[in-house]
Amino acid sequence: MKTLLIVAALVAVATAELRQRLDSQSVRLDRLAARVEAVSDVLQGRADASAAAEGRVDALNSRLDAAFGDGCGSGEFQCGDGQCVSLLSVCDGTGNCVNNADETVCENPLEVGSRWVGNVVYDYCTNRRPEQISLEITDFEIRSSFKSKAYVDTKFILESNRADDSKSAVFLSTGTYCFGCRLLETQPPESDNLALTCKFDQGDSNKCSGYIIRAASGEKCAKFAFVKQ
C-alpha cells in the first residue's frame, strides 16, 4: 500500500511538471506569435512614415493595393464587385455602388454606452505600459452635412495590474468613425501625441484591432485586441 501511495505521488508530481512545461511552451509560442505580428506592424508603420516623408505614399499605397488590396484608392470604398466609389459617398442616402453596397454598411458598431476592453498584444511606446484599455463610447453623432463619418466621444481607462505597480488612468477624447473604412480614429489625449485607432473586420462588429499611433508619423507602436463587453 505504501509503495502504491509513493508511485501515485510520483505520477502526480510528474503530471504537474509536464503540465507546467506545456503551459510554459504555450506561453512562449503565444509570445513568439505576438512578436512576429509586432515586427510586421512596426515595419508597416515605418514604411508608411518613410514613404510619407518622401511624398511617395500614394505610389506605395497603389503598389500595396495592387499586391494585397481591394483595387481601390485610399479615399475610396470597394463595393464588393470591383467597383470603387468615394468614401464620402458612403452612407449619404444615395446608392452609388451598382449593388448599393455603399448604403448597406451603415451599421454603427459603437453604440452610445457600449464598452470595449482591449488586451495588450505589444507595446513599444506608451509610458504607462497598460495591460488593458477600457474604451467607453459616450456620444455618437452623425451630422446631416457629412454622413459618411460620425463624431464620437470616448473615455479611455488605462489599467495596469502588475503586482508592483497597480494603477489606472482615465482620459477623455473625441474622434470620428468612418463607415466605409470601419475605422475609429481618436485624437491624442495627452502631450505625448499618441492616439488610439480601432479597425473593425468586415462582418464582425464585436471585435476591433486597436493601434496606438504616433500622430506625427502615423507609425503603429502598440496594439490592443478589443472585444465588446
**φ, ψ for residue 154 (rounded to 5)?**
-135, 160
Q: Does 92 bind Ca ion (CB under 5 A)?
A: yes
- Of 78, 96, 186, 209, the residue at the interface with Ca ion (CB under 5 A) is 96
Q: Are 184 and 208 in contact (CB under 8 A)?
A: yes
Question: Which of these segments, 64-72, 94-102, 109-117, 188-196, binds Ca ion (CB under 5 A)?
Answer: 94-102
- The count of residues interacting with Ca ion (CB under 5 A) is 5
Nearer to Ca ion, 92 or 123 (CB): 92
Please report how close the Cβ of residue 70 comes to Ca ion at its closest, in angstroms.
17
End-to-end, the C-alpha distance of the chain in Å comes to 53
Q: Does 76 bind Ca ion (CB under 5 A)?
A: no
Nearer to Ca ion, 89 or 154 (CB): 89
Spell out a b/e string for 21-56, using b for 16 or more CB atoms within 10 Å of the CB, else e: eeeeeeeeeeeeeeeeebeebbeebeebbebeeeee
Please report how close the Cβ of residue 97 comes to Ca ion at its closest, in angstroms.
7
Please report how close the Cβ of residue 86 comes to Ca ion at its closest, in angstroms.
9
User: Quick one: cell of 213?
Assistant: 499611433
Cβ-in-10-Å burial (0-12, 13-18, 19+) of 149 comes to buried
- Of 3, 94, 127, 144, the residue at the interface with Ca ion (CB under 5 A) is 94
Q: Grid cell 451603415 — which residue?
A: 106
Please report how close the Cβ of residue 146 comes to Ca ion at its closest, in angstroms.
13
Tally of residues, the chain: 229
Binding site for Ca ion (CB under 5 A): 89, 92, 94, 96, 102
